[in-house]
Structure 1
Amino acid sequence: MNIIRKTDETSGNKDAGGHFIFKLLPYWPLFLVLLVVSLAGAWVYLQVTPQLFSAEAKILINERKGAEETSIQDPMSSTLSKKKSVDNEREVIVSSPIINQVVADLSLYASVYQNSFLASRIMYEDAPVKIAALDPKGIKPTKSKIEFTYSHSGILIDHKTYAFDKWHQMPYGTLMFRKNISARPSDQSKFAFTLTSPSKVASKIAGGLKVAEANKLSTILVVSILDENPKRAEDILNGVLLVYNKHAIDQYNLLAANTQNFINSRLMTVEKELLDIENKLQKYKSNNGAIDVGTQGKLYLENVSINDQKIGEINMQLSVLDQVENYVRSRDLTGGIVPSTAGINDPGLTQMVKDIYELQLNAESLRKTTGENNPAMVAYNDQINKIKPQILQNLRNQRNSLSASRNNLSGTTSTYSSALQSMPETERNLVDIQRQQQIKSGIYTFLLQKKEETALSYIANGSDSQIVSQAESSEFPVSPKRKMIYLAAIFGAGILGIAFVTAKDKMRRNVMFQHEIQSLTKLPVIAEISTNSSAKQIVIGSNQRTLIAEQFRSLRTTLHYIGMGKQNKRLMITSAISGEGKSFVASNLAVSLAMTGKRVALLDFDLNNPSLHHKFGVKQRTGISEYLQGKASMEDIFSNSIVNENLSLFLTGKLPVDPAELILNGKVEELFSNLAEEFDYLIIDVPPIGPVSDAYSIAPMCDATLFVIRHAYTPKVFIERIDDNIKLNNLPNPAIVFNAVSQRGYGKNNYGYGYGTGMVYGGSYDQKLIE
């Protein structure tokens, strides 16, 4: 017994997976059905699930500093430049105005489908018609697909024909159907289309559009999207990049145009003032004959002219500040032309003016599609209200500084004017007129220079971004992954099958597998006997090489491990309940031992329900009951078996009224001792230990015990009690025989054979001991 337990422990890990696999083998039809159903479900899923293709494009972003970070020596940069970074442009690319424009340009709000067996396939470049709406924002989305029939003259919807290239008033809006010349569908082909709100389509595209940096050190953005149609995915990406570049150019041109308009208006005013001064100078010279001035007058004139020019520049700057202040204080910043900050050497003010203008433009654009209480609108208004006080404070500071400078220059000019008073009045007046002329001429020249710079900026304006690669889609769909779906279906079928088998085993009350026996008791399973499919009760003979016969031969060999031999001859065979096959095992084991030339005595001590006489086909006669009562001798109850000459039968005889008390009268030990002198083995068939206590009374007189457990019959609860019964009743050298094991699974032709001839489930023994 110790040897078997040790072998069982050393091989337990290896056999744990083995008994689990053999437990699953009987259910191979279930696993096959689940596998077929799972694969069919995976196939249907792949048919009804739209395939998604990946497309990506790359764009280079030239990062640029804002006006406050650029040199004030560069007029165009200080007037028109705005900050541009990769992070900002990533958000601009997926902004609503750009996506909405792409949806409108590609008519993505209208989708055409072709019906198939399980699902509809979306069509794009192969669609028979292209659908356009006169007012995309005003279309009514369709609740379901609108089926139509294609013909060369138009499309047929609900028995009404709609011609190509004409606007048609329909329940969904004003639509036009254009024939796709690249697609050539057959006449009377059936298709379907749907109309979706452009904003909903744009929201879906924006959600699926991914913009990421190519790497941490580059300014290249990778724009990607997943779509059912690879060509449509490419067109969406190319359209997004095209609209993005156009949007950037439009923004630059708008700023340049506003600056140019402001300079033009100022030029007209200064030009008129300059003409008036020139006319005045001409009249004055004609009337007063003022041709030349003195050297001293020229010197004073130059000094005064320089001061006056500076005063004029200061006045112009103050005028610019006034216009900026009026613009900032106005309620609607987009109603007029944004004032230019030309001549103001404060890049911070220039940037703030442009920032508040751009914020107001974005707010006005958002107001067209959302309400005033939209979080984005509130955010824009908050930013505008924060920038306005900063601009006004800046204006006040600059105005105070310019006013102080002007007062200083005015004082200097007054000094020079006093000196000029000593000059002739005519010459002094001439100097005043010429001074005004020089001031206006300087302002006019300055504005002309700014005009040319702005014009050059307007012409040169272009996108700072460069498309590195146009959109390219993947050759094969990236979702769903067919291999992964089929693999998941296979694993799912296996998991469901295992779960079903495990749940079913958990709900069974009867023992089904050897590993269950080993988990319930410490006793070793020394043999496994297959189901007897024949009508014969004796299944072993000299010419029989069947599976069950070999299993009884294996059991015979295994008796050495429970101590059976020359000194220990008495083997008690019992079970937990009736019907487990203990008499069948006892009969065939006795025949197997007799076939080796050993003299074997088979005793039927089941004095309540004897069955050995049925197994050997003999009638009941005087037997053990009469011997125990003292009515017969050992020679009277002895009979030879016709199965084997070395086997002797001792039947029960007439059933007694009190078998338990009869066994305890002392005659049993006498019978066993006398038989042990004449026989090599005593095989004792006793009643089950569950219903009666006869087995416990006979056990002390035996050398070993075999418990017979029947497959799918013995309740597990009885096996759990075996160890406790052994401790309480001291049964000798107990072991288990697993009987009537069904042949099942792919290995049903040899299932159990390996376990009966060369190994015990969970352990092994020496093959040399067999036969």
Structure 2
Amino acid sequence: MNNKSESDPLLLSSQKIDFSVFFKRLGKKWPLFLLTGIICLFIAHTSYKSTVTTYEINSKLFIYTEGQSINFFEKLQNVTNSQNVLLDNEVVIIKSNPVIKSTLEVLDLKVGYYVPPETTSKNFWSFNKSNLPIEIYEDAPFEIELKENDKSIEEKFFRISWVDSLSYSVRFVGDEPTTSMFNSNQDEGSGKSYVCKFNEWCGLPFLTLRTRLLEAKNDGNFLFKIRNEESLISEFSGNLAIYPATTGGSILDIRLITNNPAKGEDFLNQLMNNYLFIELDDKNSIATNTINFISNQIQNVSDTLGVIENELQNFRAANQTTNISSEGEVIFGRLQSMGEELAKEKIKKEYLLSLDRYLRNNDFDNIVVPSLVGITDPTINSLIDELINLQNEKSNQLVTLTDSSPIVIEQQKRIVISKKNTLELVKSAISNIDISIDDLNYRISEISKDFRKLPFTEQNLIKIEREFTLNEGIYNFLLQKRAEAAISKASNINNNKIIEQAKANALPIGPRKLNFYGYAIIITFLLPVIITFLQETVFKKLVDPSEIEKLLNIPVIGSIPVAEGKTNVQLVDYPNSKVAESFRLLRTNLNFILPNSESTVLLVSSVLPAEGKSFTSVNLATAFALTELKVLIIDCDLRKPKVSDYLGVDNTAGLSNYLSRRVDDESTIVKATSIPGLSCITSGPYPPNPSELIANKEIIKLLIKMKDQFDIIILDTPPLGIVSDSMSLFPLVDVSLLAFKCGYNNHKGIVELNKLKSNDFIKKVYCILNGVDSHYHIGSNKNYGYYEVYKDNKGLVNRVKNYLRSSK
């Protein structure tokens, strides 16, 4: 055995794999290789045959970034909303559900049209793509229009067959779905066909549809499927890939994987057009709002102008006058000039009041650019432009983020600050306009003093003409501003452009036979290797006694093979078995190390339960008793005692009674067994405090008294790795024996055993290997025929077990 210092658990867990043993055991797993290969190749073959052919659709889109072409009108009038976003954000926007959804709505893919499978072969090996419905897309000779349908029938196939040139039948493929009735006149039934007429609405239990013939056909047999919107979006989104065509460039390479090239091309082209439309619509929104605002003002002025024009004509006709005196002309001109200024100021005020309402209601979609209504204050114009840009950036962020995102929260803070500054500036501008309006009204009132000196008829004529001329000027001013806004809107162009229209590759990209069968071959070899590797590392159980002995820091004093038969007292029931001889050898080895005293105390324990410590205790005690020594075995495992069961002794009273001082006379708990020279003290009733009882000083008194009566005392104690009861007994014994079950324990058990070596209060500690396979056990070779084997080796199960053991 190797001499080692205290072992580190990490050192033990990192033991190098013995590759010679590893490959030897791997070679014995050839049936697993064969089985894995058959299964993997079968799955690969059927998967390849049943996988639909797929194509790759490619297109390219140019994305405008800051520093490239700038629209002149955008810079001049700040009409359009300039966007400066990162390329990654644009990718997310293009792949967003709203953009894909609008694309699908334009293409009208709610209903899919298919050709039925060509064959229905029941031979699974012949299962191939002809067994799957084939989508015909644009080649369908009919078109289905839906009015309503039940959600339960979405993503399921229906068969439509021509009855004659005027009617057709519809049948759900498979069982009839459980649906709400849309038409109470129709009956439900499993697999029932419903006859409908072409070009007429037809109410079925599960949907209402109208089928229009696109080609004159007397017969036909097709399938159709009503697509679920979420499923359809997910299908296209999952097969869509967008990434920069070059590093640092602004051209996006857009790719789509689909089994229908025509549909894929239409989808990508429409997707790019929708994205460009959204961008242009955003840029035109402000100009459109401006035109709408001015148009409303023009409508009001136009109505007023028409009324005043009629009034002026009627007045002149009634008073037979058409001219104004020279003095009246001067007064009229002054009033006219002041009135035009006053009208413009009122328009500005009305705009600012509407702007204030929009800002307070967070209605950024209806904001009009200030410069187009005559407000030239650069501060207001810049703040409005900044606020709109901030809001658009937030809208882009919300495509992929939520309101609770830190980025969106920070953006909202900037919007609040900008809106607050804008509202304060708008309030100040309204106050300034009110001052201008008051000043103009005062000046008009002063001019009106001279006006009242004119003849009454001339005064009325001037009033009407002034009002007419004033509204006519406002009307012309608004027409001019609307024309400017329309020019600005018309001058807007898409900064982003389609570089390449969608085009499908001529050759399909899948399925690739090499991938299917290649992966099958890789898995065939890899899976058994992984299983063997895990068995040798993570899940490795220590089986080889020589390997265990190398890892242990404590000496191995004996090895016990797998027990023959079902008895627990091997030396009595099978005295000539390998197990019995192993205990005799263990007894001999112990005689060399036991102290030369009149009485010796041995302790038997283990790290884990079920490692055979009680089996070892009973058989070792029997081995000593057969040499005419007086032997006592004490069952110190107060939690799960087994000695009484092994020896067939009553457990009514035992060690727990004595340690709890319920029994004063120790002789009442010492019981004779059927084996001459062997007595035992059973555990007794289960106590509430087993750890405290074992640590009681009464155990010392008991051992002192028992030493006077017995030559060998064996303590069967609880497992060390489960409870601490045994630790208090180690100082009381002469020799400690620890059972280690081969093929049951792992490196962790070795670590626990090695820790005992460093404890000073443990005098002599040795290891007994239990459950050693006959392949490893000494004397298991072909010369080992001297000892009787008490089992039937003629049975098939036993022969298989023996073969597996010998092949290890």
Q: TM-score, normalised by structure 1?
A: 0.49
Structure ID, larger Rg: 1
